[in-house]
């Protein structure tokens, strides 16, 4: 009786984005979530992402102060948090935190103005300092 020869099954994990060849498991290359076979990986240049460095010194302190405003804090946070360097990510995260602190302080002042306005401003308030009650 003849023995059957069992060929090992190859598992394919992806398809090359350039040439369409099936890429076996643990082979090929992944760049920016795109799969390349071994031949195309050699031909595909690696595009280096430009990195924006976070400010330092006095400019960093000024950036944190400006980040207290919601629009600037959001822009600084998005720009720097999306970078790959840990220092830039950390700076972006702190800008987001400063933005939320600024929003909380603005809401607190808004509530205080409403409370004081209601207390001073008329008959609905408790002090009743309207015209004629001197």
| Residues 27-59: tens digit of each pLDDT | 777 777 788 888 887 776 655 566 788 999 999
Pair 113, 81: CB distance under 8 Å: no
| Predicted pLDDT of residue 40 | 80
Task: In whole angstroms, give the CA distance from residue 91 to residue 21.
Answer: 42
| Predicted pLDDT of residue 129 | 56
| Predicted pLDDT of residue 124 | 53
| Predicted pLDDT of residue 68 | 94
| Predicted pLDDT of residue 105 | 96
Helical pair 58-66 and 70-81, crossing angle rounded to 10 deg: 120
| Predicted pLDDT of residue 96 | 96
* Residues of the chain where predicted confidence (pLDDT) is lower than 50: 125
H/E segment holding residue 30: strand 29-31
User: In sequence order, which residues have a C-beta less than 8 Å from that of residue 64 and are 6 or more positions away?
Assistant: 94, 95, 98
For residue 74, give the 3-state DSSP assignment.
helix
| Predicted pLDDT of residue 50 | 66
* Integer angstrom CA distances of residue 63 from 67, 94, 99: 6, 10, 11
| Predicted pLDDT of residue 59 | 94
């Amino acid at each position: 009786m003849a023995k059957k020869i069992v060929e090992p099954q190859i598992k394919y994990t992806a398809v090359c984005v350039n040439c369409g060849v099936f890429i076996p498991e643990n082979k090929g290359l992944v760049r920016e979530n795109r799969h390349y076979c071994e031949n195309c990986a050699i031909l595909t240049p690696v595009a280096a992402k430009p990195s924006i460095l976070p400010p330092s010194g006095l400019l960093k302190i000024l950036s944190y102060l400006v980040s207290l405003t919601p629009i600037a804090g959001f822009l600084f946070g998005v720009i720097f948090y999306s970078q790959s360097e840990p220092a830039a990510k950390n700076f972006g995260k702190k800008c987001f935190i400063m933005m939320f602190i600024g929003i909380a302080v603005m809401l607190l002042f808004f509530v205080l103005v409403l409370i004081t306005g209601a207390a001073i401003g008329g008959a609905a308030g408790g002090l009743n300092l309207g015209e004629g009650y001197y």
